[in-house]
């Protein structure tokens, strides 16, 4: 099965990003394809390289970057939501790219299922 993923919450304010990350990992292990992960609303905060969590906490941004690198996953950040939150190409973490809502629509069309994490 081919999945599109949408994440609407930031990495440290809600469980949505962690749950989505675990879902994507499990889907890959089961042989499913991840068409795209789209970060929207506060979910764009998962994509900033300026995040510096304490040493004893998980680095959600780095986890997403590593997953994208290892599995070739397309991590797309909504341009309007990102710019509103001060995220641009200069502070975007590795593996993420900025684009528009058309990428979310395309994921919904191309994937068998679009799974949304967060409000």
Catalytic annotation, residues: 78
Question: What is the Cα 62 distance to its own chain's centre?
Answer: 11
75-78 vs 96-99, strand pairing mode:
parallel
Please give the Cα distance from 79 to 66 (Å, whole number).
Answer: 22
Q: Quick check: 35 and 111 in contact, CB under 8 A?
A: yes
Length reported for the chain = 119
Please give the Cα distance from 24 to 100 (Å, whole number).
Answer: 22
φ, ψ of residue 74 to 5 degrees: the values are -80, 110
């Amino acid at each position: 099965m081919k999945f599109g993923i949408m994440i609407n919450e930031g990495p440290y304010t809600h469980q949505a990003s962690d749950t989505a990350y675990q879902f994507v990992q499990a889907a890959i292990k089961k042989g499913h394809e991840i068409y795209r992960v789209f970060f929207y609303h506060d979910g764009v905060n998962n994509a900033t390289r300026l995040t510096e969590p304490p040493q004893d906490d998980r680095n959600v941004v780095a986890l997403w970057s590593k997953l994208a690198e290892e599995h070739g996953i397309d991590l797309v950040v909504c341009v309007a939501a990102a710019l509103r939150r001060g995220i641009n190409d200069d502070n975007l973490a590795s593996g993420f790219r900025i684009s528009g809502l058309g990428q979310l629509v395309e994921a919904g069309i191309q994937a068998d299922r679009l799974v949304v994490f967060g409000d």
